[in-house]
Each structure stands twice: as C-alpha cells, then as structure tokens.
C-alpha cells in the first residue's frame, strides 16, 4: 500500500511541476505579446 501512495505522490509532483512550467510560459507569452503590441502601436 505504501508503494501505491509513493507512485501517486510522484505523479502529483510531476503534475505540479508541469503546471508551473505551463503557467510561467503563459506569463512570458503574454508579456512578449504586450511588448510586441506596444512596439507596433508606436
């Protein structure tokens, strides 16, 4: 039973890491898009 919980915990940690990477990528994408829009507006 302990092995099962260790596997579940491992997948939860991987899911959290991937979600954090996706969130950071989204923030960077929004920032870059705003910079590009500001450049083209000038």
Segments making up each domain of the chain, as ranges:
8-42
What pLDDT, on the 0 to 100 scale, is given for residue 11? 98
Q: pLDDT digit of tens for each residue in the chain (42 aa)?
A: 889 999 999 999 999 999 999 999 999 999 999 999 988 887
Both ends of the chain: CA-CA distance in Å? 62
DSSP secondary structure letter of residue 2: H
What pLDDT, on the 0 to 100 scale, is given for residue 22? 98
The answer, as to whether pTM is greater than 0.75, is no
What pLDDT, on the 0 to 100 scale, is given for residue 2? 83
What pLDDT, on the 0 to 100 scale, is given for residue 42? 74
Computed on alpha carbons and rounded to an integer, the radius of gyration of the chain in Å comes to 18
Cα separation of 29 and 42, whole Å? 20
Beta strands in the chain (DSSP E): none
């Amino acid at each position: 039973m302990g092995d099962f919980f260790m596997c579940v915990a491992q997948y939860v940690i991987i899911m959290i890491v991937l979600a954090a990477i996706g969130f950071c990528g989204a923030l960077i994408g929004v920032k870059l898009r705003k910079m590009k829009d500001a450049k083209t507006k000038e």
